[in-house]
Every structure is written in C-alpha cells, then in structure tokens.
C-alpha cells in the first residue's frame, strides 16, 4: 500500500500558546541571553518568523516578584491585609511605564482608603492601565511578568479589522474615551 | 492609624505614588536605601534611577506602551511629564537623558513639603503595617532581608526567580504559509486522513491543536540559522547574575555551542512531525507485518 504524507523536517521550532486568547506564542526552549537586536536578527531567520513581531524578547536576569495572580486585588492591594499595597516590578508588571502605571493605581487606591472612602479605583479593562491591573490579579498557574501590549486588552466588538494600524488606532480611541 | 502613608522604594513606582499622594494633601514617608546601600545594579544616589535602557519605548498611540503613556499623562503622572521634559531625540520612541530625568524626579520629590524621604534600608515591615497604609515598591532587585520579610508577609516561600524567559511573538505576525498547528505526534498525518483534510486541519488549528505552532526547517535553513546563533552577540551579565545563571536554565545559544546537532536532539527535535510543505510517498508495510 502506498501512503502519502509529508517528510519529517530536519528540525522543528515549536511555539507554545502564551495567553488564553492565543494571540501570543513563545518560542519553546529559546530562553536566551542574546542582545535584543540579535534576537530579532537571528530568530527572524527561522522560516515563518521572517516578519515576526517580537512582543517580548528573551531575558535572563534575577527578578524578584510576588505571585500577584494569587495575592493581589486589582487595586494592587494584598488580599490578606488591605493595609498593604504593592507597586512596580515586584508585582509582575514589566517595564518602566508599566511600573509607573502600577504606582499610579496603587496610590489612588491607598488615598481613597486613607480618606476612608469605600470605593475602589479600578480602571476599565479597555485601558492599558486597567488591563495590566487585571492581568496581574487574575488567577494564573504560570504567572509571569508582563509588559504593556494589545494582547491583554479585550478584542474590539464587531467584525475583525484586518489592518493592524487601524485596529490599534481603534483600541487607542476606545481607551482614551475613558479619560 | 498614622497621619501619613508609607512607601518603601524610591524607584519609578514609588516616586509616582509619593507624588500622587502628596498632591492630594496627604503626608508621605518614602523609604529609600540608597545611598546607604546599593543594589547590584544601581549606581547613583538619585531617586527613580534608570538602570537598563534609557528608552520608555514608543510614543505612538498605535503601540500599547505609547497608549499607556498617554493614559498616564491624562492622569497627571509626574514621571511621564518629567520624561517628556527630559526627552532626547529617538524617532517615535520616548527616550530620556537618564541623568536629567532622575535628577528632576529627585528634586521634585525631595522639595515636596509633604514628602519625607528617609534614606535607610527597611528590614522590618511589621511595625509599619501596624501603623498604617504601606506601599511596597521595592523592585526586581529587592534586598535579601526585605525579600524574606515580604515572603513571610505573603506566605510564599520563595521570591527570587530567575527570569529565563524565551521571546514571545504575536500570532498575527507569523507566516502561516510555512507554519502549521499541532502537537508533537498528533500533528502527523493520520492514516485514514486525506492529504487535503490533513493540511486543512493544520492550517486551521482546530480546538486544542492551537496550543502549538510549528516551524519546520530543512537542513540548509537549520545550518544557516545555527551558524548565526552561535556567533550572535550576548548581553554582558552583571557579576551577581553570572554565579547562578546556568543552574536550571541553559540559554539556547550556549546549548547550541555544544555541537551542531545538539539542538536537533533537544528543543528543535523534529520527531513526531510531518512537514506539510513536502510530500513523500512510502510503501507501508504495517498491514502485512501484523498478519
């Protein structure tokens, strides 16, 4: 009997789904200490990644962060002790601007608590500030630091817009309408 | 309850929080261990010291980090305002003069009458917590003593992690003329499946098949990639990082240097895959064997 199938490739690079929406994929086994520019240059040589957009580069460094997905509320407040807030990269947000964003949310909530106001300051998930707060406080068995990216925002309603720029512009408009 | 809010750590998050709180008329005690003690990566005495790149990334609204900056501007973020003020030309990115940036933030915070900056290492947080609200913003290089305190507080046993992360790409940027979905072994063409059905299954990524995307390489592609990988430039690690780095997680470029085929027997192992780009006809003996 003659069977038709593909040939076994010489090598395979596997990408593993990295978020529940399946919009991001990590390169399996590619933890690396290469410079970012080199990662883009060398990893783009992998067939299929010629024009890949690197949402995050591989890094190797010591990083201290708590398991916010278990410990924190969306206000960056410790669930087990409401007098304590965390902010910055120790919460698992990654990057300068992301750290500032967490400092903003934690302080606004601390202020309300200080003034004995009951309401929490929770930014809508459609905003990047809100999406980051939501990301770090959502239960996640494989919690890992995250930087700002459109993959953590809810998708636009209605028909999918093919043009990336156009889509990002609409996501930006949707967010800024909240401010 | 004390008449102030305590912040531990005078980095980007801590200084922004201090400013926001003081702006609303509340006193702040901001603890910063520099210049009494420095982390492995910090070198100057300023608050909000920028340790890695001097880029705050894109300023475009069509970039998530650019959008985040705009959101923060609208909330009167001190740090983004100072970053804008101390920016240097960097195309579409917001890059800062790092000296000027940290200096301006330090001045703004230290000259604020409501903010008391205390230069000492915090090693016991229990007392502070009993006295009022505390924001812990001690960063990725939190001192060892404080890390232990935080671990106690959170009930976790370890707080240090080695970030040995692999790069992440967006799915929409992957070329699916080449890439195909499927798990090792289950991706192979099933006997009863027609070639067309098989290809359709791999390009749609039905259900749980979506969890892996595969990028096949032929010999030539692999060897070209290999050569560039082993000669690519690496980041210089701080001494403190060198000591422990290779315990659990070996960088791919180090593994590759062991031999040209090491990766093909490791993470790039092709076993269990059929490349739908190629076609091969084989005589199947399985039926006769079992007879």
Looking at residue B281, what is its pLDDT? Answer: 58
Chain A residue nearest residue B157, CA to CA: A66
* Residue at token pair 């007392």: B127
Looking at residue B283, what is its pLDDT? Answer: 55
Looking at residue B282, what is its pLDDT? Answer: 55
| pLDDT tens profile A72-90 | 999 999 999 999 999 999 9
- pLDDT bin (cut points 50, 70, 90) of residue A173 is very high
Which residues of chain B make contact with A60, given a CB cutoff of 8 A?
162-165, 235, 237, 241, 245, 249, 251
Q: B128 with B20, same domain?
A: yes
Looking at residue B240, what is its pLDDT? Answer: 54
- φ/ψ region of B11 (left if φ > 0, alpha if ψ in -120 to 50, else beta) reads beta
Q: B105 with B9, same domain?
A: yes
Chain B residue nearest residue A107, CA to CA: B17
Q: How far is the alpha carbon of B217 from chain A, nearest alpha carbon, in Å? A: 5
Contact A28 B267 (CB under 8 A): yes
Q: Nearest 5°: phi and psi at A133?
A: -60, -40
| pLDDT tens profile B138-153 | 998 888 888 889 998 8
Contact A128 B274 (CB under 8 A): no
Which residues of chain A make contact with B179, given a CB cutoff of 8 A?
15, 48
- pLDDT bin (cut points 50, 70, 90) of residue B50 is confident
Q: B31 with B104, same domain?
A: yes
- Partner B contacted by A84 (CB < 8 A): yes
Q: B144 with B182, same domain?
A: no
Q: B203 with B238, same domain?
A: yes
* Chain A 17-36, residues with CB within 8 Å of chain B CB atoms: 17-18, 22-35
Lowest mean pLDDT among B72-86, B155-169, B211-225: B155-169
* Chain A 144-163, residues with CB within 8 Å of chain B CB atoms: 144-145, 147-151, 153
Looking at residue B272, what is its pLDDT? Answer: 82
Q: Which residue in B156, B174, B189 is closest to A5 by CB distance?
A: B189
pLDDT of B285 > 50? The answer is no
Average pLDDT value over all residues in chain B: 85
Q: B219 with B270, same domain?
A: yes
Q: B239 with B125, same domain?
A: no
pTM of the model: 0.71
The proportion of chain B whose per-residue pLDDT surpasses 90, expressed as a percent, equals 50
B74 in any annotated domain: no
B60 in any annotated domain: no
- pLDDT bin (cut points 50, 70, 90) of residue B201 is confident
Q: B137 with B185, same domain?
A: no
Q: How many structural domains is chain B composed of?
A: 2
Domain boundary among B154, B182, B201: B154
- pLDDT bin (cut points 50, 70, 90) of residue B88 is confident
B164 in any annotated domain: no
* CATH number of the domain bearing residue B101: 3.50.50.60
Q: Which residue in A7, A108, A149 is closest to B275 by CB distance?
A: A7
Q: B131 with B227, same domain?
A: no
B242 in any annotated domain: yes
Contact A75, A106 (CB under 8 A): yes
B90 in any annotated domain: no
B274 in any annotated domain: yes
The proportion of chain A whose per-residue pLDDT surpasses 90, expressed as a percent, equals 72
- Pick B281 or B196 by higher pLDDT: B196
Q: What is the mean pLDDT of residues B113-132?
A: 92
Lowest mean pLDDT among B44-48, B123-127, B259-263: B123-127
Looking at residue B289, what is its pLDDT? Answer: 34
Nearest Cα to Cα of residue B16 among B91, B92, B112: B112
Q: B134 with B210, same domain?
A: no
- Partner B contacted by A5 (CB < 8 A): yes
Chain A residue nearest residue B158, CA to CA: A66
Contact B178 A48 (CB under 8 A): yes
Per-residue tokens: B194: 């027609």
- Pick A13 or B274 by higher pLDDT: A13
Highest mean pLDDT pick, B53-62, B77-86, B195-204: B77-86
Q: Which residue in B65, B135, B263 is closest to A95 by CB distance?
A: B65
* Residue to substitute from A13, A22, A55, interface B, most B β-carbons within 10 A: A13
Contact A145, A63 (CB under 8 A): yes
- pLDDT bin (cut points 50, 70, 90) of residue B54 is confident
Contact B140 A89 (CB under 8 A): yes
Domain boundary among B154, B182, B198: B154
Domain boundary among B105, B121, B154: B154
The proportion of chain B whose per-residue pLDDT surpasses 70, expressed as a percent, equals 86
Looking at residue B67, what is its pLDDT? Answer: 98
Contact B65 A148 (CB under 8 A): yes
Q: Nearest 5°: phi and psi at B289?
A: -60, -45
Q: Which residue in B56, B164, B169 is closest to A52 by CB distance?
A: B169
Q: Which domain holds residue B112?
A: 4-54+97-154
Contact B280, A4 (CB under 8 A): yes
Report d(CA A97, CA B59) in Å as an integer. 11
Looking at residue B132, what is its pLDDT? Answer: 94
DSSP bridge partners of B282: A3
Report d(CA A117, CA B19) in Å as an integer. 20
Q: B145 with B238, same domain?
A: no
Q: B211 with B262, same domain?
A: yes
Report d(CA B281, CA B174) in Å as an integer. 29
Contact A147, B65 (CB under 8 A): yes
The count of residues in chain A is: 179
> What distance, in Å, lies between the first and last C-alpha atoms of chain B?
84
B209 in any annotated domain: yes
pLDDT of B250 > 50? The answer is yes
Looking at residue B271, what is its pLDDT? Answer: 85
Contact B39, A148 (CB under 8 A): no
pLDDT of B249 > 90? The answer is no
B128 in any annotated domain: yes
Which residues of chain A make contact with B68, given a CB cutoff of 8 A?
97-98, 101, 128-129, 132, 148
């Amino acid at each position: 009997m003659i069977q038709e199938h593909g040939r076994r490739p010489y090598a395979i690079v596997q990408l593993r789904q990295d978020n529940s929406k399946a919009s991001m994929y990590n390169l399996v086994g590619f933890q690396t200490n290469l410079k970012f520019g080199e990662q883009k240059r060398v990893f783009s040589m992998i067939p299929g990644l010629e024009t890949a957009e690197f949402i995050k580069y591989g890094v190797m460094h010591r990083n201290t962060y708590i398991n916010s997905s278990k410990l924190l509320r969306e206000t960056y407040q410790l669930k087990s002790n409401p007098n304590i807030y965390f902010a910055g990269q120790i919460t698992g947000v990654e990057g300068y601007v992301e750290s500032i964003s967490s400092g903003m949310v934690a302080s606004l909530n601390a202020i309300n608590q200080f003034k004995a106001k009951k309401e929490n300051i929770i930014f809508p998930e459609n905003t990047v500030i809100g999406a980051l707060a939501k990301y770090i406080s959502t239960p996640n068995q494989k919690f890992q630091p995250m930087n700002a990216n459109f993959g953590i925002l809810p998708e636009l309603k209605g028909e999918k817009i093919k043009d990336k720029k156009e889509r990002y512009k609409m996501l930006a408009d949707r967010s800024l309408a909240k401010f | 309850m004390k008449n102030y809010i305590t912040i531990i750590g005078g980095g980007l998050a801590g200084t922004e929080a201090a400013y926001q709180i003081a702006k609303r008329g509340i006193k702040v005690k901001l603890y910063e261990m520099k210049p009494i003690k420095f982390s492995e990566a910090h070198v100057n005495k300023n608050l909000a010291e920028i340790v890695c790149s001097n880029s705050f990334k894109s300023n475009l609204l069509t970039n998530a980090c650019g959008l985040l900056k705009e959101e923060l501007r609208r909330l009167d973020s001190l740090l983004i305002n100072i970053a804008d003020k101390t920016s240097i030309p960097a195309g579409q990115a917001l890059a800062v003069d790092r000296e000027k940036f940290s200096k301006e933030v330090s001045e703004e915070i230290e000259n604020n009458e409501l903010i008391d900056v205390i230069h000492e290492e915090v090693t016991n947080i229990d007392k502070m917590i009993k006295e009022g609200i505390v924001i812990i913003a001690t960063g990725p290089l939190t001192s060892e003593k404080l890390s232990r305190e935080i671990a106690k507080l959170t009930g976790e046993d370890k707080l240090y992690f080695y970030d040995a992360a692999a790069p992440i790409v967006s799915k929409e940027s992957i070329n699916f003329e080449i890439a195909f979905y499927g798990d090792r072994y289950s991706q192979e063409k099933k006997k009863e499946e027609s070639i067309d059905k098989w290809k359709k299954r791999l390009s749609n990524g039905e259900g749980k098949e979506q969890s892996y995307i595969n990028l096949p390489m032929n010999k030539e592609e692999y060897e070209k990639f290999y050569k560039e990988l082993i000669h690519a430039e690496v980041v210089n690690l701080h001494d403190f990082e060198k000591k422990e780095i290779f315990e659990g997680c070996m960088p791919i470029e180090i593994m590759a240097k062991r031999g040209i085929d090491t990766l093909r027997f490791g993470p790039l192992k092709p076993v269990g895959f059929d490349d739908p780009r190629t076609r091969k006809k084989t005589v199947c003996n399985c039926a006769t064997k079992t007879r």
